[in-house]
Structure 1
Amino acid sequence: MKSIQYQLKLVEDNDEKCDCNHSPSTPSFGKVGFLVSNSGSLQNVGNDAIVVYDTVTTNLGGGYDKSTGVFTAPVEGLYYFSWTVLAFAGKSFYTQLKLNDIVVAKNHAGATGIATHMPSSQSAVLQMKKNDKASIRVHSGGLYMIGDKWSTFSGYKI
């Protein structure tokens, strides 16, 4: 009985379509996750601009769009997000996580007056509907974020 309930749930999660090949990478099996980073540093990024992470390490389920920097939930569910910013010595790079343009968490990477780089991390757990969008945006102070895999954004469906 549990197997039948599980199969029905998979069909419901995939817009009433069956994945007859049982492909483990399709969102119908609930496996969604991504890890992205920047190939280079970002400087003087405007307020509320989306931080576009252009280097994709993992994008299971295809939810992250590296051309826009936006993650779109391929299926409804509970998602965990995390992001880390490394601000250059003497600079800052403040960010926030937005869900459909609503701020849900902020990250303060401030190294103003400090002679070394300053890291900062943040995470959030969000209930998302299919096609909801999550992105990292510059809050204020987008002066200098170090790239080269020091600053990352990741998420997965729990």
Structure 2
Amino acid sequence: MLLGKWKKMMLSLNATLQNVGRELAFERQARQQMEKHLPAKQGLITRQASKELEVAFFAYIGSIEQHLGAGQIVVFDKVITNIDSTGSIGGYHASTGVFTAPVDSLYVFYATLMAHNNHASHYLIVHENQSVATILVDGSNHWFDSASGSVVVVLSRGDTVSVKQLESGDHALQGAPIAGESSFSGFLLRQHFRGPAPIG
């Protein structure tokens, strides 16, 4: 009786092993078929990755920026990072304080400003001469003060972004006895962004 059960178990195990063998053979064939197409797909991925652009900059004021008047662009003259893998018109220009978009994309910008002792004023992050953010820096009463602002904007190729002084009068920003008291930075967040039109 035990021998009969053992034979049935062996036959059942044999059948299971044959089924597993057939499934493994099927999986092997399917994998071989996929591998025939894999080099082409890898090439496509590599080509797509190579088209990803890198655009980023970080700059700060190297000394006290004095006598800022209404509408004057703040020039962040000490450039730490300025990457534009497009090799085109884009990037940040330390002589003018202006960033020019090299491609249509979604970008992020940050500005941190420190008022020089006994100065208080408003600054703007400006896209194509239109304010997109306001930063109040109040260094009155013989105190230094800093404030920051950030924006996320869709830019077309050739669009500009900068930081400007808002009010008339004589204003000053603290430069860099150490580094980066007043800084401006930005980077490309998403290439060829095609979102809905801005509201407003």
Structure 1 and Structure 2 fold alike (TM over 0.5): yes
Matched, 1:133 2:160: yes
- Who is 2:193 aligned against? none
Change (3 A) 1:53 1:112: same
For residues 28-79 of structure 1, the C-alpha deviation after alignment (integer angstroms, 9 at most, x for no partner) is 5221100001111111211101111111000000500111111001111111
Whether 1:57 aligns to 2:85 is: no
- Within the candidate set 174, 179, 183, 1:152 is matched to 183
Closer/same/farther in 2, CA of residues 54 and 78 from structure 1, 3 Å limit: same
Provide, for residues 60-102 of structure 1, a one-character-per-residue CA deviation record: whole Å limited to 9, x for no partner.
0050011111100111111110001101232124210111111
Aligned match of 1:95 in 120, 123, 127?
Answer: 123
**Larger % of strand: which?**
1
Shift of 1:135: 0.7
1:64 is paired with a residue whose SS is strand
CA distance in 2 between counterparts of 1:132 and 1:3 reads 34
* Aligned-partner Cα distance in 2 for 1:124–1:91: 25
Corresponding residue SS for 1:59 = strand
Which of 73-82 and 142-151 deviates more? 142-151
Letter in 2 for 1:46: G
Structure with the bigger RCO (C-alpha within 8 Å, sep 6+) is 1
TM-score by length of 2: 0.64
CA contact (8 A) 2:64 2:116 kept: no
Structure 2 CA distance for aligned equivalents of residues 83 and 123 of structure 1: 6
- Residues 1:32 and 2:60 aligned together: no
Cα RMSD over matched residues? 2.1
Contact kept in structure 2, 1:92 and 1:145, CA below 8 Å: no
Identity among equivalent pairs (%)? 29
Q: What does 1:1-150 correspond to in 2, within 5 Å?
A: 4=44, 7=47, 28-61=51-84, 63-113=91-141, 115-140=142-167, 143-148=171-176, 149-150=180-181
For normalisation by structure 1, the TM-score amounts to 0.80
Choose 1 or 2 for highest CA Rg: 2
Task: Give the unaligned 5+ runs of structure 2.
Answer: 1-40, 85-89, 190-200
Q: Match of 1:104, SS?
A: strand
